[in-house]
C-alpha cells in the first residue's frame, strides 16, 4: 500500500445492530405521546437519518392526530428530546456487533488503514455506544448528525472526515447499509460496500453499490482489491 487508505463506516445497521434498543426508545416516546408502537423489524426500515427523521416518518406517515405546523414542530422537538434522553440511558441493552466486525477492524488496523465513523446518530451517542460495545479505539474520528452543519446523504459528511484524516478521496471506501450511505458516497466519488438487509425500506437492487455483502465475514478480500 503506497498511500494511506481510509475506510468510512456507517454505524446503525453497519457496525452495530442497534434496532432493538432504538425500538425500545421509539416505543417509549410513542406511548408517552399517544401513538402506536412498532416492532423491531418496522424500526429497521425507519433508522438512518437521525432521531427526528425516524420519529417523523413513524408518526407523520400515518398520523392519528392532526396538528398545526407550529404545534407539529414543538411536539416533534419534545419527542426528539424525550427519545434522545431515553435512548442515551438505554443505548447498550440489546445492541450487538454485526457479524465479523471486530475481526475486520483488527485486520484493518494491522494494515494501517485509517478508519472513521460517519453516522446520522448524534455524535455523543455514537461515541458512547462505540465505547460501550468495545470498538471506539479503532477509529480516528467519529462524525455524527450534529458534528458539521450537514450530514448524510450530503457527501460533505464523508469528504470532510477524509480531509480531517489527511486522506485522499481516491483512496477511500465507504461501508454502509442504506441509500443514505450509498448516495453520500456516490456523490463523493467513493466506492461503496453495501450490507444486505440494512436499515432501509429499499431493496438492495434499488441502492447504489459497488459490492454487496451479508456481513463482515470475508470482507477483507474486497478491501484488498483497493489497497
- 38/145 same-domain check: no
The residues that are catalytic are: 10
CATH number of the CATH domain containing 53: 1.10.150
Question: Residue 196 falls within a domain, yes or no?
Answer: yes
Which residue, 56, 89, 122, sits at the end of a domain?
89
Instruction: Tell whether the model's pLDDT for residue 223 goes beyond 60.
Output: yes
pLDDT tens string 87-115: 999 999 999 999 999 999 999 999 999 99
Question: What CA–CA distances, in Å, run from 171 to 80, 151, 157, 158, 161?
Answer: 37, 21, 17, 13, 13
Question: Quick one: 80 and 181 in the same domain?
Answer: no
Same domain, 198 and 185: yes
The sign of the torsion formed by the CA atoms of 224, 225, 226, 227 equals positive
Contact status, residue 194 vs residue 207, Cβ threshold 8 Å: yes
79, 104: one domain: no
pLDDT at residue 158, rounded to an integer: 98
- Rounded Cα distance between 64 and 66, Å, is 7
User: Does residue 214 share a domain with residue 117?
Assistant: yes
Q: Which residue in the block uniquely carries the three cell numbers 456516490?
A: 186
Which residue among 57, 89, 121 closes a domain?
A: 89
In tens, the pLDDT along 155-199 reads 999 999 999 999 999 999 999 999 999 999 999 999 999 999 888
Q: Supply angle C-alpha 82, 84, 89, rounded to 5.
A: 100
What percent of the chain lies above the pLDDT cut of 70? 87
List all residues 6 or more positions away from 81 whose beta carbon is below 8 Å from its beta carbon.
Answer: none
Both 10 and 26 in one domain: the answer is no
Mean pLDDT across the chain: 88
Cell 429499499 sits at which residue?
Answer: 202
Based on the domain organization, do 130 and 204 belong to the same domain?
yes
Domain residues for the domain of 47 are: 19-89
Looking at residue 54, its pLDDT comes to 59
Span 123-144, average pLDDT: 97
Note whether 190 and 172 are within 8 A (CB). Answer: yes
Q: Are residues 79 and 150 in the same domain?
A: no
Among candidates 184, 183, 180, which has minimal Cα distance to 160? Answer: 184
- Asked if the model's pLDDT at residue 2 lies above 50, the reply is no
Looking at 74, 89, 104, the residue that finishes a domain is 89
- The domain tally of the chain equals 2
Instruction: Determine, yes or no, domain membership for 25.
Output: yes
Rounded CA separation 227/218 (Å):
15
Question: What is the C-alpha separation between 209 and 198, in angstroms, rounded?
Answer: 13
- Judged by average pLDDT, the poorest of 36-45, 158-167, 211-220 is 36-45
* 21-25, 104-108, 213-217, range with the lowest pLDDT: 21-25
- Decide if pLDDT at 138 tops 50: yes
**Same domain assignment for residues 77 and 100:** no
Alpha carbon of residue 34 to chain centroid: 28
Q: Is residue 4's pLDDT more than 70?
A: yes
- Indicate whether 10 and 99 sit together in one domain: yes
In this structure, the answer to whether residues 63 and 38 fall within a common structural domain is yes
Considering the domain architecture, whether residues 57 and 10 belong to the same structural domain is answered as no
Predicted local confidence at residue 208, as pLDDT: 97
Amino acid at each position: 500500500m503506497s498511500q494511506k487508505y481510509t475506510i468510512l463506516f456507517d454505524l446503525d445497521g453497519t457496525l452495530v445492530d442497534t434496532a432493538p434498543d432504538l425500538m425500545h426508545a421509539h416505543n417509549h416516546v410513542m406511548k408517552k405521546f399517544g401513538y402506536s408502537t412498532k416492532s423491531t423489524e418496522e424500526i429497521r426500515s425507519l433508522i438512518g437519518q437521525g432521531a427526528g427523521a425516524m420519529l417523523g416518518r413513524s408518526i407523520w406517515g400515518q398520523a392519528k392526530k392532526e396538528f398545526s405546523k407550529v404545534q407539529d414542530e414543538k411536539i416533534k422537538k419534545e419527542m426528539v428530546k424525550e427519545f434522545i434522553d431515553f435512548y442515551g440511558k438505554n443505548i447498550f441493552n440489546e445492541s450487538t456487533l454485526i457479524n465479523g466486525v471486530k475481526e475486520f477492524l483488527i485486520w484493518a488496523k494491522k494494515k494501517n488503514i485509517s478508519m472513521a465513523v460517519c453516522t446520522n446518530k448524534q455524535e455523543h451517542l455514537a461515541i458512547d455506544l462505540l465505547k460501550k460495545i468495545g470498538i471506539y479505539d479503532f477509529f480516528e474520528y467519529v462524525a455524527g448528525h450534529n458534528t458539521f452543519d450537514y450530514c448524510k446523504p450530503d457527501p460533505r459528511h464523508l469528504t470532510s472526515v477524509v480531509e480531517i484524516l489527511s486522506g485522499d478521496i481516491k483512496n477511500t471506501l465507504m461501508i454502509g447499509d442504506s441509500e443514505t450511505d450509498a448516495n453520500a458516497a456516490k456523490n463523493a466519488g467513493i466506492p461503496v460496500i453495501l450490507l444486505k438487509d440494512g436499515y432501509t425500506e429499499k431493496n438492495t437492487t434499488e441502492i447504489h453499490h459497488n459490492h454487496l455483502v451479508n456481513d463482515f465475514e470475508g470482507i477483507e478480500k474486497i478491501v484488498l482489491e483497493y489497497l
